[in-house]
Each structure stands twice: as C-alpha cells, then as structure tokens.
Structure 1
C-alpha cells in the first residue's frame, strides 16, 4: 500500500500513524497538521479499518492534539522496541489496554469483512482501534520484527518479515542509498 501523501509501508494502523512524521531535507515534518489531513489519513486507512471511513470532519474536530499525543507515546515505545527493548512492557500494555477500555468493540460485517466497531466517543474510538492494532502486534509477536530504517536521516519504522529488509521502502530510502552509492563509485573512477 503506497500513497503520495503518507508513507503507508506497514499496513498496520499503529505503525502507519507513527510514520505520519517524517524527516525531509533534514527537518522533521508532521504529515497530519490539520483536521483535514487527519480525515484524509482516516479515509486511506479505512481500507484496513472500515470504521474510520464513517467518521465525519465534525466528529474529528478538536482531536488533533490528542492524536498527536497518542502518536508520540506510540513512537516512544516503538522506537525502544526497534532498538531492542522488551516489546511486552507492562506499562505499554496497560496504556494500550486503557485506550481500548475507553471504547470497547462490537463487530459488523462491512464489505464482506468482519470489522471492529468501537463503541464510544469518536476520539476514544479512534484511539481504541489504533491501540488494538499495537496490542495485536505485541500479542502475535510481530512486534519483534519491528525495525527502524537504515537511513540515518529517516525515522520511519517497519516490520521486517523476511529478516533481510534494511529500508523503510526501496522507493524512499533504498533507492536514495543506491543512487548515492553509484555517485560515489562514479566520482572515485
């Protein structure tokens, strides 16, 4: 899944939310700066979580700061895990479970898929879905495959399911590395 606006490289709500912060031209950029950006991200992520498509801009108003705070907390824990810390820290699990408890789930069939539908206020519901995704990664132990891009100037995180992946994406950092290596080779000849 790729998108020109968001680097959707994981197909996981929680990781793709964390990856809405990027480094470009040596500066950190937030790709979700407005409620409109947040709605665009929800629409795109609705493929993974259909509930997000049903949200309206009116329901999203005032949630931007809370989403940013939640993303910062996820990033902090995910980066520690990517650096080798224990993925099932009791504090992180409790944090995620508290988010889910604020809007527990019912289920509906939407477009022939069984969809989780959080029951609660829209902001609690959104965070509940994202927290569930992170908790699922921990439960399935997929979180142990979490890595940071090998590009020192990149902050994107991904799941390395092959054990050989180095880059967030070949289109983003992998290609840049190849071009840089090629340029060095040409300059030394």
Structure 2
C-alpha cells in the first residue's frame, strides 16, 4: 500500500485504511506495514516503538474510534463511546515534562511502548477533535476513496492531486472524447 501521509497525525492514522483500485488496503494489516507508516511519523512520534503483530489490534481499534469520532463531528453529532475510548488511551500514559541533565526539557510518558504510542495517537485525535479546524476536515471526492484531509485551500477536493485528482481528470477527459466522437 502506498502510504498517504502529510496530514495531521490523527488524519494520517485514519488514512492507514484506504480503498484502492485493487480493493481494500490497510497499513495495519501486518507489523511491516505499520512499521513503514511509523517510520514516516518520526517527526511527530517519539520514541518510535518496535511493533509486533500482537500490537496491531489495539492500534486498529483506536483508529476506528478516531474515525467514528471524526465522522460524528463532521455530521454535527457526537460519538460518546469513541470519545471515551480516545480519552482512556490518553489517560493510560499521560505526558509529563522533566528537566534533563543538560538543562533542556523532555516530554516523557510512563508505560510500555504500545500504551505510550496509543496515548500519543489519541492525544493527536484530541487535538484535532477539539480544534475549530475539525469542521473543515473533508473526505476525498475521488471515486471509491475514503481518505480524509484538512484542505489548505478551500477549493481542494481530493486527497492528492496526483492520485485521485488525476484519476478524476483523466476520466473526465475520456468522457469528453467519447462524447465528441459520437455522431
């Protein structure tokens, strides 16, 4: 699966599951796919844990809760069970700051690697869901695409101009050519 990243962390998490021309693709199907996705998040997650197949169900469950909460907010509602699960993940490993020996501050969390990762991902979801920007989150208009994005420009319609945008433009071009060829 080509990983679509570059959005807010919570949206990138939701976008690990996508519809492709070959069917469903899920970066969380195996530890290798998830490790590849994590490697793209090095600037946002620390430390990057080594994940195993046993860790994936918990990450997939959190992803689904984030998706449910986003869908509810985008439709003007709420998803209390999803919000409770997100909050529980944040509370499992809350961040705290300490003073390092060199005089710099570090943010740390207590807990195993999975618990800390889930807390960071859930915290990113809290940041998005509590932001006024959440109302601007859009679903890609590409056929069969489910990617979500936060448009920097109000006219943006696709997750990626080179992926879905190009597919839509090519399809329109073919339709115009077919229409022009008809007698």
Bigger radius of gyration: 2
Q: Same fold by TM-score, threshold 0.5 exceeded?
A: yes
Partner of 2:23: 27
Q: Give yes or no for contact 2:16–2:28 (8 Å, CA) kept in 1.
A: yes
Gaps of 5+ in 2: none
Using the size of structure 2 for normalisation, the TM-score is 0.83
Aligned-CA RMSD value: 2.5
Q: Report how many residues are paired.
A: 176
Question: How far apart in 2 are the matches of 1:78 and 1:139?
Answer: 11
1:176 is matched with which residue?
A: 167
Deviations 1:67-109 (A, max 9, x none): 1111122222223333x224x6555443322111100112479
Distance across 2 between alignment mates of 1:134 and 1:94 = 12
Give the C-alpha shift of residue 62 in structure 1. 1.6
Query: Measured at CA, do residues 169 and 182 of structure 1 come closer, stay the same or move farther in structure 2, by a change above 3 Å?
Result: same
Q: Supply the distance in 1 between the matched residues of 2:113 and 2:17 (Cα, whole angstroms).
A: 23
Map 1:48-67 to 2 at 5 A.
Answer: 48-52=44-48, 55-57=49-51, 60=52, 62-67=54-59
Structure 1 gap ranges (5+): none
One of 8, 15, 19 as aligned partner of 2:11: 15
| Partner SS for 2:47 | helix
Structure 2 CA distance, aligned partners of 1:178 and 1:30? 26
Under a length normalisation based on structure 1, what TM-score does the superposition of the two structures give? 0.81
